[in-house]
């Protein structure tokens, strides 16, 4: 059982975020105050604090990674009113669908699916082909945009906050993330409750609570996304090296956690 924090956002200084200068001051102030409050808390306490202090709809986007499974475990065991959604790109591994079903059965809670727009997907494949994402970075970004980023926008429409499984040590681009910041393009607060945890710590917590994880992890897959774009990695390789491996010096990102591109 996790203790409940007595901290309140009302007890903390409100410092505007430089990245949120175009948003109402209260949004930036709340993000800054949340980051300050969460720093001293455990991840499950952070989730409870968010639900207690932030009114409105909170959305956790679950990709069925190890981090997401642990966050979902805490959301369910604390019975938190957080909307849990997943983006079904149509190209996921069979093992991911199996984990999805097993996770719902384990926790007795449905995980709502968001799908790509059918017409947009049809236009993409007609233009680039079924595997056009191998041909150029631009084509790959276009595929991720249709299959992931646009559905994400749909999932987050009207939300007050977006919760993710991002960790700072996953990639260089994620190292600069905050526990809570403003996603200015979507006018919401983005929260990363596991930001300061290592993969080893996540794995230990998952094992301690017997949280179900993807069977592919036992076969060398560290970070798992769409089947055509994910491979196993060798021991010692960075965990996201199995994503879009054919791109030299790529960011290993699909765009979900990058500033939203115009258009």
Closest CA to 70 of 218, 240, 220, 201: 201
Any binding-site annotation on 76? no
76 part of the active site? no
Radius of gyration over every alpha carbon of the chain, rounded to an integer in angstroms: 18
Flag whether 226 is marked binding: yes
CA dihedral defined by 30, 191, 185, 244, rounded to 10 degrees? 160
Contact 223, 239 (CB under 8 A): yes
The alpha helices in 116-262, defined as continuous H runs, are 118-128, 137-144, 150-156, 172-175, 199-208
Cα separation, 112 vs 63, in Å, equals: 12
Give Cα 203 to chain centroid, integer Å.
Answer: 17
Q: Could you tell me if 69 and 213 are in contact, meaning their C-beta atoms sit under 8 angstroms apart?
A: yes
Which entry of 214, 254, 256, 258 is annotated as an active-site residue? Answer: 254
Distance CA 114, CA 155 (A): 7
Annotated binding site for [4Fe-4S] cluster: 143-144, 226, 229
Catalytic residues: 254
């Amino acid at each position: 059982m996790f203790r409940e924090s007595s901290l309140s956002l009302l007890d903390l200084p409100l410092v505007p975020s430089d990245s949120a200068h175009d948003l109402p001051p209260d949004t930036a102030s709340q993000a800054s105050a949340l980051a300050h409050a969460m720093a001293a808390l455990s991840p499950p306490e952070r989730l409870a604090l968010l639900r207690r202090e932030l009114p409105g709809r909170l959305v956790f986007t679950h990709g069925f990674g190890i981090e997401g499974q642990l966050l979902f475990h805490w959301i369910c065991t604390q019975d938190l009113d957080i909307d849990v959604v997943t983006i079904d790109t149509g190209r996921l591994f069979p093992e991911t669908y199996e984990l999805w079903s097993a996770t719902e059965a384990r926790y007795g809670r449905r995980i709502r699916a968001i799908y790509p727009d059918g017409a947009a997907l049809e236009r993409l494949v007609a233009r680039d082909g079924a595997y056009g994402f191998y041909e150029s970075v631009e084509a790959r970004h276009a595929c991720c945009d249709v299959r992931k980023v646009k559905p994400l926008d749909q999932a987050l429409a009207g939300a007050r906050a977006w919760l993710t499984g991002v960790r700072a040590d996953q990639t260089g681009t994620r190292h600069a993330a905050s526990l809570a910041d403003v996603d200015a393009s979507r006018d919401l607060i983005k929260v990363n409750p596991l930001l300061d945890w290592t993969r080893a710590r996540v794995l230990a917590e998952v094992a301690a609570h017997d949280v179900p994880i993807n069977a592919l992890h036992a076969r060398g897959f560290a970070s798992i996304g769409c089947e055509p774009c994910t491979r196993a990695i060798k021991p010692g390789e960075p965990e996201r090296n199995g994503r879009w491996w054919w791109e030299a010096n790529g960011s290993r990102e699909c765009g979900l956690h990058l500033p939203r591109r115009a258009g």
